[in-house]
Amino acid sequence: MLDLLGKVLRRIEGPPVILGTWRPFSSSSCCFATFMDINNWLLFYGILYLVLYAQVSHSKTCERTSCFSGRCVNSSCLCDQGWVGDQCQHCQGRFKLTESSGYLTDGPINYKYKTKCTWLIEGYPNSVLRLRFNHFATECSWDHMYVYDGDSIYAPLIAVFSGLIVPEVHGNETVPEVVTTSGYALLHFFSDAAYNLTGFNIFYSINSCPNNCSGHGKCTTSGSIPSQVYCDCDKYWKGEACDIPYCKANCGSPDHGYCDLTGEKLCVCNDSWQGPDCSLNVPSMESYWILPNVKPFSPSVSRASHKAILHGKFMWVIGGYAFNYSTFQMVLNYNLESSIWNVVPILKGPLQRYGHTIALYQDDIYMYGGKIETNTGNVTDELWIFNIPSQTWSLRIPAVLVHGQQYAVEGHSAHIVELDSRDVIMLVIFGYSVIYGYTSSVQEYYIRTNSWLVPETKGAIVQGGYGHTSVYDDTTKSVYVHGGYKALPSNKYGLVDDLYKYEVNTKTWTILKESGFARYLHSAVLMNGAMLIFGGNTHNDTSLSNGAKCFSADFLAYDIGLYSKEN
């Protein structure tokens, strides 16, 4: 700017002029020369003003805007340890927090690209430390917050957050709370080089009540252990955090039902009424959720990308992804009548895996493919069979491979069906192969002959992917496939809302009307001729999914019976 001012001064012809004095005026040059002189001086004063304004503005950085995490020194922000930016507004370093309670944040505005921030919260050994995520907004699946129960990354990893966690209303108790029991917590935040959101505000406290009893109880000191506290819940609220309502409107007593206070504290409805508060008729066109009072709850139950199947009064859960495999159990079952989880001890069997499939045939569970949780992380083509009565595993080696290679896949779906030919086969639909990418093939495993077949299919040209769901309808003898993560045009990848129908006897594909709700890693069941779909990851490419949550609580339904009548 000063160089530009010098150039302007050099452009003004004649000797230097002392400001504030008179100049001789020549009437012969009254028009053009005087006009040029005025223009030069206007230009000079204009640039001088800009120079002085820039200097003054620069010198008042701290005065005009305060330093968020630092102090003003010589008109510039001197940042505290772990903070960067011209106003010390971005975290970028390591922090140690030793107070009994407090907040941690990435800063007052959107976090930086390529941010790496770490917080160590120090309590005292074996104390309970609670982290409440009051606000959390990061790029889904790319920018993550890792939480460890200890003072280093070698401590157990207990939570990873990404995406949006924003309370819809004040006091919304769906905001998650993470608990560590070692007396310490290590939090590490990482962001990549594209897209940044508003970040997070996390409150922590040591030996406090969960969620501050959700506003429905009092935090009380334990009589047996003075250092521990618990929630004494108000009437009609229960749970560790007093966040579960019970006996709403006194269950409509006496006409609809009554409140049972002797056991689980719930409504017992009369024969013609149903629902958590006995407010729905029997039958009813309305649906509702029930949260079972599960007991006991084991940490080894926690997992993702597992598979579950119903056999008798038990739901069998096999495999899945977990943060810590030291206490991981490959096989669990849940008793629907007693609401009790059971760990099934297995002496010999498959390695831990996720992204696999399981399908039930008589008393056997057939588990195929998936990603094995080893150092190499291989995607496998193993077929294991779990016999429910004996609770033992056996590995099935195929006798014959017909019509091409068998694919090792993950993120596929599978169903065991009986064909018109009386053959009983396991259909494996789509999936991701390390060698071939996203496959559009159907694989058939013939149970009686222990052989595989990759058949030639007819009909529409469909595109396979990862993380779709499918159901088998015995009435139409067809598999209905929805959603998934697929390869898109222009070398892009994303979620889709496709709906396909595969007729198992004729091996024919049909493309049906898309749902309008793209997702993957969702679940689906078939009930009374309707395909019911719940949840899933709904965040497409960030440039297309502005503000989309990572995971959805949507409930979708597709009427298979209505489609069959129309066609």
Based on the fold, state whether residues 303 and 434 are members of the same structural domain.
yes
- Per-residue model confidence (pLDDT) at position 293: 73
pLDDT in tens, 83-114: 999 899 999 999 999 999 999 999 999 999 99
Q: What is the CATH number of the domain that holds 235?
A: 2.10.25
- Per-residue model confidence (pLDDT) at position 522: 96
Based on the fold, state whether residues 303 and 255 are members of the same structural domain.
no
CA 554 – CA 314 distance, rounded (Å): 26
C-alpha pair distances (Å), 503 with each of 91, 140, 454, 488: 56, 36, 15, 25
- Per-residue model confidence (pLDDT) at position 547: 53
Based on the fold, state whether residues 166 and 246 are members of the same structural domain.
no
Does residue 559 form part of some domain? yes
DSSP result, 148-185: ESSSSTTSPEEEEE-SEE--SSTT-TTS-EEEESSSEE
Does residue 444 form part of some domain? yes
Domain range for 133 is 70-208
Given a cut of 70, whether residue 371 has pLDDT beyond it is yes
Does residue 530 form part of some domain? yes
Based on the fold, state whether residues 326 and 431 are members of the same structural domain.
yes
Residue recorded with tokens 């297995």: 346
Given a cut of 60, whether residue 444 has pLDDT beyond it is yes
pLDDT in tens, 202-230: 999 999 999 889 889 999 987 777 678 89
**Average pLDDT score over the chain:** 84
Based on the fold, state whether residues 352 and 431 are members of the same structural domain.
yes
Does residue 126 form part of some domain? yes
Read off the pTM: 0.82
Q: What is the CATH number of the domain that holds 129?
A: 2.60.120.290
Given a cut of 80, whether residue 8 has pLDDT beyond it is no
What total of structural domains would you count in the chain?
A: 4
Q: Prior bond to 296 cis, omega within 30?
A: yes
Neighbours of 556 (CB within 10 A): 21
Q: What is the CATH number of the domain that holds 351?
A: 2.120.10.80
Based on the fold, state whether residues 173 and 253 are members of the same structural domain.
no
pLDDT in tens, 233-252: 998 998 888 988 899 999 99
